[in-house]
């Protein structure tokens, strides 16, 4: 019995992730110490971040950086600005980064950062001061060879630019490789913004192929119209698939004959929301999960597919564009129904893959064009999908790609631990 499981009080995402890791370690018959390494972060830093607000008062925010594991390379993972962040959720998210990087074969470890705040209520200047202060508080544990943050929920290329600038000022040398997901003008990579959605598109195509579903006739429902959902929607439509529904925080639209994706994304660009788009019937976020479709792409936030709605899902394939969109109960129901779930650590790894390309270009002074980036991303995603799919077929009972993905990633991590003399 593991020491860590015994001391946990409540069942949450972190517990569920630890269970998945433990199951994978046991199935692979690896030494239990592999689980011990992976069940706790190597370092968890909590900092107080004082920020002068526009009204002149100082507010002290709480910031975190969780460095989960670096057996494969420097820690890597996004920073989110959110009012509902918990230390357990950050730990789980950092574990997923370690697994994601191992799975897709980029030489990074896993990390995640956060600031507890409500970015929607902050001015641009307040966000800039917060981003710079976060870097000042954590500069000693970050660096292009140590730990490389990136955008996550409510952080973007502009936030990364402020962070790269602040770090470069501290080091007194341009060090743009300290973060990825930057604007092109300061060492960003073409295609990075769309990379997660593009990666989802590639794995959805491979998943369709694997179960003999004619991809260009597939009916697709997407939760989320942002970087991930919106970019994927455009690619699905270009491929000839029928995007029947898209939703966001404001609700969704459904058109059984297929939405005009370009018009919808233009509407979102102009108004900020899907609400008010005339090209379909108005639906709720919950309705989206009941629709008649072949592929469902949850590309918004955590815990969306649960025991309450998983039973109604009609899709044959679920591609987890978001991190952790399916609860363990939801997952069990999908498995019982024989739905092919492409797990988050595989499906959304396109983002960190192009982050890796950005970091390589920063380190070597390269500039790759969009065709090169997209081709390399496609090769990585297709390879990772096929490896995990075949591994799952050979080693797991039934169609449980999550178990397969965890096992595949952990096998790679354990191999590195073994060579490095950690075991
Ligand atoms: N935040 C993204 C993720 O969860 C990207 C991380 C990165 O590029 O380092 O995968």
pLDDT digits (tens, 9 = 90+) for 43-66: 999 999 999 999 999 999 999 999
Domain ends where: 153, 178, 203? 178
Of the listed ranges 32-36, 249-253, 360-364, the least confidently predicted one is: 249-253
pLDDT over threshold 50, residue 2: no
Among candidates 6, 2, 117, which has minimal Cα distance to 64? Answer: 117
Q: What is the pLDDT of residue 200?
A: 98
* Residue among 112, 156, 181 whose CB has most ligand 1 atoms within 8 A, to mutate: 181
Same domain for 340 and 203, yes or no, is yes
Q: What is the pLDDT of residue 395?
A: 86
pLDDT over threshold 60, residue 6: no
Same domain for 257 and 299, yes or no, is yes
Domain ends where: 290, 325, 347? 347
Tell me the average pLDDT across 73-97: 96
Q: What is the pLDDT of residue 12?
A: 87
150 CA → ligand 1 middle, Å? 6
78 CA → ligand 1 middle, Å? 5
Tell me the average pLDDT across 181-200: 98
89 CA → ligand 1 middle, Å? 15
Tell me the average pLDDT across 174-202: 97
Tell me the average pLDDT across 22-36: 97
Residue 108 lies in a domain: yes
Residue 9: which pLDDT band, with cuts at 50, 70 and 90?
very low
What is the CA angle 401-302-310, rounded to 5?
60
Of the listed ranges 332-346, 357-371, 389-403, the least confidently predicted one is: 389-403
Element (H, E) at 175: none
pLDDT tens for each residue of 100-124:
999 999 999 999 999 999 999 999 9
H/E/C letters for each residue in 22-90? HHHHHHCCCCHHHHHHHHCCCEEEEEEEEEECCCCCEEEEEEEEEEEECCCCCEEEEEEEECCCCHHHH
Closest ligand 1 atom, residue 355 Cα: 8
Residue 398: which pLDDT band, with cuts at 50, 70 and 90?
low
* Residue among 91, 104, 151 whose CB has most ligand 1 atoms within 8 A, to mutate: 151
Helix residue spans in 111-212 (DSSP H) = 124-138, 157-171, 195-210
Tell me the average pLDDT across 141-154: 97
Same domain for 282 and 341, yes or no, is yes
Active site residue 380: no
Residue 206 lies in a domain: yes
Residue 396: which pLDDT band, with cuts at 50, 70 and 90?
confident
Q: What is the pLDDT of residue 3?
A: 40
292 CA → ligand 1 middle, Å? 31
Tell me the average pLDDT across 292-307: 95
The average confidence (pLDDT) of the chain is 95
Closest ligand 1 atom, residue 181 Cα: 8
Q: Is 343 helix (H, G, I), strand (E, B) or coil?
A: coil
The parent domain of residue 278 ranges over: 195-347
Angle of helix 195-210 relative to helix 227-239, nearest 10 degrees, comes to 50
Q: Which tokens belong to 121? A: 């209520």
Closest ligand 1 atom, residue 354 Cα: 8
Q: How many domains is the chain partitioned into structurally?
A: 2
419 CA → ligand 1 middle, Å? 27
Which residues have a Cβ under 8 Å from the Cβ of 242 and sit 6 or more positions away? 217, 218, 219, 220, 257, 258
Q: What is the pLDDT of residue 1?
A: 38
Q: What is the pLDDT of residue 407?
A: 97
Closest ligand 1 atom, residue 323 Cα: 4
Closest-CA residue, ligand 1 atom 8, reads: 352
352 CA → ligand 1 middle, Å? 5
Same domain for 211 and 302, yes or no, is yes
Closest ligand 1 atom, residue 93 Cα: 4
Active-site option among 100, 112, 316, 335: 112
Residue 268 lies in a domain: yes
Residue 32 lies in a domain: no
Closest ligand 1 atom, residue 149 Cα: 9
pLDDT over threshold 80, residue 179: yes
Residue 295 lies in a domain: yes
* Residue among 65, 77, 302 whose CB has most ligand 1 atoms within 8 A, to mutate: 77
Of the listed ranges 53-62, 202-211, 267-276, 395-404, the least confidently predicted one is: 395-404
* Residue among 152, 188, 353, 362 whose CB has most ligand 1 atoms within 8 A, to mutate: 152
Q: First vs last Cα of the chain: how many Å apart?
A: 18
Taking CB atoms and a 6 Å cutoff, what residues make up the pocket around ligand 1? 76-78, 150, 152, 180-181, 323, 348, 351-352, 355
Residue 371 lies in a domain: no
Residue 352 lies in a domain: no
Same domain for 260 and 343, yes or no, is yes
What is the percent of the chain where pLDDT is above 70?
Answer: 97
57 CA → ligand 1 middle, Å? 33
Domain ends where: 125, 153, 178? 178
Residue 33 lies in a domain: no
Please tell me the distance from the alpha carbon of residue 211 to that of residue 393, in angstroms, as a whole number: 12
Q: What CATH number is associated with residue 245?
A: 3.40.50.720
pLDDT over threshold 90, residue 365: yes
pLDDT over threshold 60, residue 222: yes
Tell me the average pLDDT across 84-93: 95
């Amino acid at each position: 019995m593991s020491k860590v499981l015994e001391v946990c009080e409540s069942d949450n995402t972190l517990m569920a992730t630890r269970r998945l890791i433990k199951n994978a370690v046991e199935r692979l018959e690896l030494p239990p110490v592999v689980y011990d390494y992976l069940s706790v972060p190597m370092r968890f830093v909590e900092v107080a971040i004082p920020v002068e607000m526009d009204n002149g008062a100082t507010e002290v925010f709480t910031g975190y950086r969780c460095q989960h594991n670096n057996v494969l390379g420097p820690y890597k993972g996004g920073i989110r600005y959110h009012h509902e962040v918990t230390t357990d959720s950050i730990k789980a998210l950092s574990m997923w980064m370690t697994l994601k990087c191992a799975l897709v074969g980029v030489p990074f470890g896993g990390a995640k950062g956060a600031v507890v705040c409500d970015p929607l209520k902050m001015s641009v200047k307040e966000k800039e001061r917060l981003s710079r202060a976060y870097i000042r508080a954590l500069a000693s544990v970050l660096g292009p060879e140590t730990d490389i943050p990136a955008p996550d929920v409510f952080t973007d290329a502009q936030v990364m630019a402020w962070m790269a600038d602040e770090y470069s000022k501290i080091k007194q040398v341009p060090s743009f490789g300290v973060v990825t997901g930057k604007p092109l003008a300061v060492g960003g990579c073409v295609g990075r913004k769309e990379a997660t959605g593009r990666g989802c598109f590639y794995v959805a195509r491979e998943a369709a192929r694997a179960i003999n579903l004619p991809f260009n006739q597939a009916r697709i429902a997407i939760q989320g119209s942002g970087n991930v959902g919106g970019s994927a929607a455009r690619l699905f439509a270009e491929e000839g698939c029928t995007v029947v529904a898209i939703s966001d925080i404001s609700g969704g639209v459904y058109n059984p004959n297929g939405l005009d994706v370009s018009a919808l994304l233009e509407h979102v660009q102009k108004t900020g929301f899907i609400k008010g788009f005339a090209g379909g019937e108005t639906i709720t976020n919950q309705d989206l999960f009941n629709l008649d479709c072949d592929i469902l792409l949850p590309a918004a936030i955590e815990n969306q597919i649960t025991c309450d709605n998983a039973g109604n899902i009609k899709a044959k394939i679920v591609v987890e564009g978001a991190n952790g969109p399916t609860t363990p109960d939801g997952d069990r129901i999908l498995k019982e129904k024989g739905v092919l779930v492409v797990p988050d650590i595989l499906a959304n790894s396109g983002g960190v893959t192009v982050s890796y390309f950005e970091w390589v270009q920063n380190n070597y002074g390269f500039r790759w064009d969009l065709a090169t980036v997209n081709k390399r991303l496609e090769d990585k995603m297709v390879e990772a999908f096929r490896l995990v799919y075949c591994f799952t077929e050979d080693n797991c009972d039934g169609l449980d790609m999550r178990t397969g993905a965890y096992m595949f990633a952990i096998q790679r991590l354990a191999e590195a631990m073994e060579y490095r003399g950690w075991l």
